[in-house]
Structure 1
Amino acid sequence: MMMFKYNFDVKGYELDSFGHVNNSVYLNYLEQARWEIMRELGLYEYFKKTGNFLIVVELNIKYIKELCLFDKAVVDTSFKREGFFLVFKQNIRDESGEKISKAVVKCLFVDKSRNPLDVPDVLTEFFSDDKA
């Protein structure tokens, strides 16, 4: 299974009144990690050329441990195809490797008219048969 990594540092504006990362910010980390994968695999150019794009249709996240200001962390991401869907398994870990959160994100490719599309062939070599 191919694993993609996105490293980041916690910024001050991501904190809530309790001094740790606000729950909603974790979704931004996960999304940015997926965008980095799309860029790495050339899908951003595919989006621009075709007008097709990827939308999130379902997201499940479990918060395990907090992140605080200046913490360094990484999002580990793998993905697989489930019919028309692209399912991402994403874990956020701190610099010691301890799991901070885990998420499963189900996405769908759609055209300009919001009609569902099959997963593009360019992703075929990266598919995992493992459960997300």
Structure 2
Amino acid sequence: MRHVTNLCVRGYHLDVYGHVNNARYLEFLEEARWRFFEEQAVIEAITGEALAMVVVNININYRRAAVIHEELAISTEITRVGNKSFVIHQEIALAETGELIADTDGTYVLFDNALGRAVAIEGEYKVLLDKLCG
């Protein structure tokens, strides 16, 4: 299941070079993931059990700089669900033309806050994430 979040580049997103700073893209991607998971009621299902979805690896390919007033479309989809981790693929593109700004594949785990460690993805969590997978 693919989800798209639109964001407009604002002045406070820019660095001294007049384009979106590389670190800011992580915030854009996180905002899109939260919207995706909130709309699919994943946040309530997982955090209600004192679990968190934690990034353990993320690699970003920067394709083109984004600048002020550009409307960005951030697509988010789960592409793989394993026994202990899942992968989320995201792309940031210009909303109007689809020109790719950046893309990423991130690996996430379910983290048990009480135990202080990642736990197996099983039962209702496996069913929920599988349902959302590509």
TM-score (norm 1): 0.90
Identify the match of residue 120 of structure 2 among 118, 121, 128: 118
Q: Who is 1:63 aligned against?
A: 62
State the match for 1:127 in structure 2: 133
Residues 48-87 of structure 1: pairs in structure 2 closer than 5 A:
48-79=47-78, 80-87=80-87
Q: Which whole-Å CA distance do the structure 2 matches of 1:11 and 1:47 have between them?
A: 32
Q: Partner of 2:98 in structure 1?
A: 97
Unaligned runs of 5+ in 2: none
Percent identity, aligned pairs only, is: 28
RMSD: 1.3
- Residue by residue over 1:10-44, the C-alpha shift from the partner in whole angstroms, topping out at 9 and shown as x without a partner, is 11111000101011000111111111111011122
Q: Deviations over 1:39-96 (max 9, x none)?
A: 0111221244211011000000010001111110111111121331110111100021
Distance 2:130 2:81 in 1: 9
Letter in 2 for 1:77: T
Structure 1: stretches of 5+ with no match in the other structure = none
TM norm structure 2? 0.88
SS at match of 1:54: strand
